[in-house]
């Protein structure tokens, strides 16, 4: 029993001595490759066993033959340990370099989506493979965010260019008419009255454009404050139709309003939703030829869990390729951007922003003699 305790004590001392040497070597090699450090760690265990064998042999606890066998076993075990450590080290090193390359590509903005760790992703250690998967996922999100940022920047540049055109052209016309009136180049009462009417119309259009820009700014900056109240749809539709009736009458358009019974009660901000419906009606009146019909309907959706407001016009339909673009900023359906009664192209973008602020949806599809815009609103605020 005492010999067992003695052997145990010396083995602990030998293992401690080997561990101290191994730890010192690992500290000295802390900046070297993982393979070399793994080899040192593997040899530390073999060294501890070798110290125990040497001590046991010196104390005659084992025979000469047994000692030689143990030396052979230790040599084989040490060789296998070093080889396995080198293999593991090479795998970890290759995976680490791949992960480092992924991080570098993320840092310089080139992305790392689809970048595999090593030749086979499954060859990397679990932690590094999981890190690589997270980097790939992060890269995909960054690429998507970058694409969205580029699209927003492109949209912003186009908006600035288009709005500048829509502001500059009528301002130049108004200035020319003002100068003609100041210089008394035009003094015929009929012509003067026409100039004043034209200037008033252009100023109203510019004011509407500025209001749309201000509303878009509030929507996109998140500073839009909604005063939510319970409103019946017939009141909402009635206010919007009353505001658009003069424009419809002037163009000879039959404007009709139909609200289902009983009229749904919706929680919304009245000024903003009246503006949405009014923008849809103005758009419908603008693109419906004289003598046409514009119909606005409101009621519950087929499932009864939301309210719907639809505006049907007689514009002749929208090209299928443009249906997904009609709610974009400055979309107006004409590439030339000819000034006139076409509007600034912001009304539908404002309508979409206000509807989404109410947690609703707005859509458009071709139907009958024209197209139908549909606003879907939850009955209660989520």
State the Cα–Cα distance between residues 281 and 53, nearest whole angstrom: 96
Higher pLDDT, 35 or 160: 160
pLDDT for 34 beyond 50: yes
pLDDT in tens, 53-88: 666 666 555 666 666 666 676 666 666 666 766 676
Helix axes of 347-357 and 189-221: crossing angle, nearest 10 degrees: 30
153, 164 contact by CB (below 8 A): no
83: region left, alpha or beta (phi > 0 left; psi from -120 to 50 alpha): alpha
- Cα gap 144→139, rounded to integer Å: 9
More confident residue, 233 or 342: 233
Q: Which helix (H) or strand (E) holds 293?
A: strand 293-300
Residue 234: band (very low, low, confident or very high) from pLDDT cuts 50, 70, 90? confident
The domains located in the chain, with CATH, are 2-124 (no CATH), 156-221 (1.10.287.130), 229-378 (3.30.565.10)
Cα separations (Å) of 143 from 110, 112, 135, 358? Answer: 9, 9, 12, 30
pLDDT band at 37 (very low <50, low <70, confident <90, very high): low
Q: pLDDT-based confidence at 123, cuts 50/70/90?
A: low
Rounded CA gap, 198 and 33, in Å?
81
What six digits make up the tokens of 37? 């450090």
**Could you check whether the bond before residue 262 is cis, i.e. omega within 30 degrees of 0?**
yes
C-alpha 334/C-alpha 318 separation (Å) is: 12
Q: Identify the pLDDT of residue 124.
A: 60
One-character DSSP codes across 20-71? HHHHHHHHHTTTS-HHHHHHHHHHHHHHHHHHHHHHHHHTTSS-HHHHHHHH
């Amino acid at each position: 029993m005492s010999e067992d305790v003695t052997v145990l004590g010396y083995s602990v001392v030998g293992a401690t001595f080997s561990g101290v040497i191994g730890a010192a070597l690992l500290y000295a090699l802390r900046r070297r490759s993982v393979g070399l450090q793994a080899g040192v760690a593997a040899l530390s265990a073999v060294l501890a066993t070798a110290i125990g064998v040497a001590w046991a042999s010196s104390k005659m606890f084992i025979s000469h033959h047994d000692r030689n066998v143990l030396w052979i076993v230790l040599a084989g075990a040490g060789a296998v340990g070093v080889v396995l450590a080198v293999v593991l080290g090479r795998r970890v090193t290759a995976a680490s370099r791949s992960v480092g390359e992924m991080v570098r590509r993320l840092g310089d903005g080139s992305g790392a989506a689809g970048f595999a760790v090593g030749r086979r992703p499954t060859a990397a250690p679990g932690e590094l493979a999981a890190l690589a998967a997270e980097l790939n996922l992060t890269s995909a999100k960054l690429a998507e965010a970058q694409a969205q940022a580029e699209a927003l920047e492109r949209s912003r540049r186009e908006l600035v260019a288009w709005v500048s055109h829509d502001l500059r052209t009528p301002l130049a016309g108004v200035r020319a008419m003002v100068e003609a009136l100041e210089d008394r180049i035009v003094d015929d009462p009929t012509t003067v009255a026409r100039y004043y009417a034209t200037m008033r119309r252009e100023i109203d259009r510019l004011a509407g454009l500025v209001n749309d820009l201000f509303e878009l700014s509030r929507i996109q900056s998140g500073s839009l404050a909604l005063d939510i109240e319970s409103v019946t749809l017939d009141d909402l539709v009635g206010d919007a139709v009353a505001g658009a009736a003069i424009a419809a009458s002037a163009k000879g358009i039959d404007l009709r309003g139909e609200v289902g019974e009983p009229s749904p009660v919706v929680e919304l901000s009245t000024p903003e939703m009246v503006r949405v419906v009014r923008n849809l009606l103005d758009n419908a009146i603008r693109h419906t030829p004289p003598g046409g019909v514009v119909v606005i309907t409101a009621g519950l959706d087929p499932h009864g869990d939301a309210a719907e407001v639809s505006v049907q016009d007689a514009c002749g339909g929208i090209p299928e390729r443009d249906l997904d673009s009609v709610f974009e900023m400055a979309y107006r359906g004409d590439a030339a951007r000819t000034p006139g009664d076409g509007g600034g192209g912001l009304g539908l973008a404002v309508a979409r922003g206000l509807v989404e602020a109410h947690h609703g949806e707005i859509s458009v599809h071709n139907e009958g003699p024209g197209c139908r815009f549909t606003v879907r609103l939850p009955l209660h605020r989520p």
